[in-house]
Amino acid sequence: KNQVEQSPQSLIILEGKNCTLQCNYTVSPFSNLRWYKQDTGRGPVSLTIMTFSENTKSNGRYTATLDADTKQSSLHITASQLSDSASYICVVSGVWGKLQFGAGTQVVVTP
């Protein structure tokens, strides 16, 4: 069973609207959690990284939150743009540096 579960699998949103992606993990002990953006046909690119002591991190219109007690994270996209169409991957690192990847949420932003 994957130790990092993401939901929804996919979503379609209108340009300009907001959306929130979810990540639940069971990785323990936990070191940090990252969100990556992967455009079609490209490699993942880091958006945010949070350690267990951080509960929010922003990168422009992207805001990630972390609740280490409930082992949940979310990525909020504000005022979506067409260029936000991509797969968003949640990645959790254990203390020994091993990364566990979620399967990703495919976001499609329509005009």
- Which stretches of the chain bind other proteins, using CB under 8 A? 2, 4, 32, 34, 41-46, 49, 89, 93, 98-104
Closest distance of CB 37 from other proteins, Å: 11
What minimum distance in Å lies between the beta carbon of 6 and other proteins? 9
User: What's the closest the beta carbon of residue 16 comes to other proteins, in angstroms?
Assistant: 29
For other proteins, the closer CB: 33 or 80: 33
Give the whole-angstrom CA distance, residue 87 versus residue 85: 7
Which residue's CB is nearer to other proteins, number 92 or number 109? 92
What sign results for the dihedral spanned by CA atoms 88, 94, 98, 100? negative
The answer to whether the CB of 79 falls within 8 A of the CB of 72 is: no
Nearer to other proteins (CB atom), residue 97 or residue 111 = 97
Nearer to other proteins, 27 or 80 (CB): 27
Query: Please, what is the minimum distance in Å from the beta carbon of residue 66 to other proteins?
Result: 14
Question: Rounded to a whole number, what is the distance in angstroms from the first to the last CA of the chain?
Answer: 37
